[in-house]
Amino acid sequence: MLEADMTPVIETRAVNKLFTSRSGPFDADKVLTAVADVSIALEAGETLGIAGETGCGKSTLARIMMGLIPPSSGQVLYRGTALNEMTGKDLADFRKSVQMIFQDPFSSLNPRMRIGDIIGEPLVINKMAYGTALKERVASLMEQVGLQPELASRYPHEFSGGQRQRIGIARALAAGPKTLIADEPVSALDLSIQAQIINLLMELKQDHDLALVFIAHDLSAVRHVSDRIAIMYLGRIVELGSRDAVFSSFRHPYTEALISAIPRVSPSGQSGRIVLSGDVPSPLAIPAGCPFRSRCLYAKERCKQELPPLEEKSSGHFAACHYSNEIFS
């Protein structure tokens, strides 16, 4: 009996991404830290949720995992092979096998292309279907995402936001990928449509046996779809664990604050929400020590001096906090 391949589908190892910024033509360059020392793995068939406030580096990490932008340092591996070492057929296979669903369904579709051509473009580029077979495949993809095939000749502006996101999902599925990276796929949609798109993604994941990276700042959505969850703050992962562990036994003060902000009905009438003081520090000037210390309710002198590593606090549950065992024991 053959053993199952335990190699992660996508893995990042100590990935950093820095950008330079200049406020004026005579000013010195400033370094913006978008992603800092992120090591994470996506297993075959699982859904990995990545959550955090706007600007914490979620989308940059997604683009690095997708191979759209290179990391400043560190490595991204696909089934054990580094992306920067891939050439020819290996790189083409990666491009087909890993597809992305973008956040904005309005700007991610070419307004000059008919949606049938948009959905079928990956099939043409990868030389997977032509002529009648291409039309049949496009029609099948449209039906899978809840669109009528006879609408294939229309343009993106003739569709609602939710319908456009369905078009983007159909395009992502066209080449037969095994991994989808969904970068805030519902944040630009009305609440009534968000649930439809989330349920569609879950159905397609099951039907096509997909691995899924689901990125959002809405923790309720992340909890609904994910097997494991990574919490990001200022470019770093500060907590990582199973969905139940992160929500029921969180080990980082930032996760505690995020979960407390989820709307809920309390018999006492008290929300129990933890209101963080101050603003998120600028990624151009991340404070020394723990990046969360300036807003943390439990910060001590050590937090100003030492950067807490992402350590395993219990089986499969990691947190980057010096005092998590004392605070959350």
For residue range 211-261, what is the model confidence (pLDDT) as tens digits?
Answer: 999 999 889 899 999 999 999 999 999 999 999 999 999 999 999 999 988
Q: Would the pLDDT of 44 be above 80?
A: yes
- Average pLDDT, integer, range 279-301: 89
For residue range 187-225, what is the model confidence (pLDDT) as tens digits?
Answer: 878 888 999 999 999 999 999 999 999 999 889 899 999
CA 156 – CA 159 distance, rounded (Å): 6
For residue range 96-124, what is the model confidence (pLDDT) as tens digits?
Answer: 999 999 988 888 999 999 999 999 999 99
pLDDT at 98: 95
Quickly state the pLDDT bin for 268 (edges 50, 70, 90): low
Q: Quote the percentage of the chain above a pLDDT of 90.
A: 74
Predicted model pTM = 0.91
Cα-flanking dihedrals φ and ψ of residue 277, to 5°? Answer: -85, 150
pLDDT at 179: 96
CB atoms under 10 Å from CB of 192, counted, come to: 8
pLDDT at 271: 56
Q: What is the residue-averaged pLDDT of the chain? A: 90
Strand, helix or coil at 240?
strand
Q: Would the pLDDT of 25 be above 80?
A: no
Cα-flanking dihedrals φ and ψ of residue 269, to 5°? Answer: 85, 0
- Average pLDDT, integer, range 279-299: 89
- What is the torsional sign of CA 186, 188, 193, 197? negative
Contact 227, 48 (CB under 8 A): yes
- The alpha helices in 73-225, defined as continuous H runs, are 88-97, 115-125, 131-144, 161-173, 191-208, 219-225
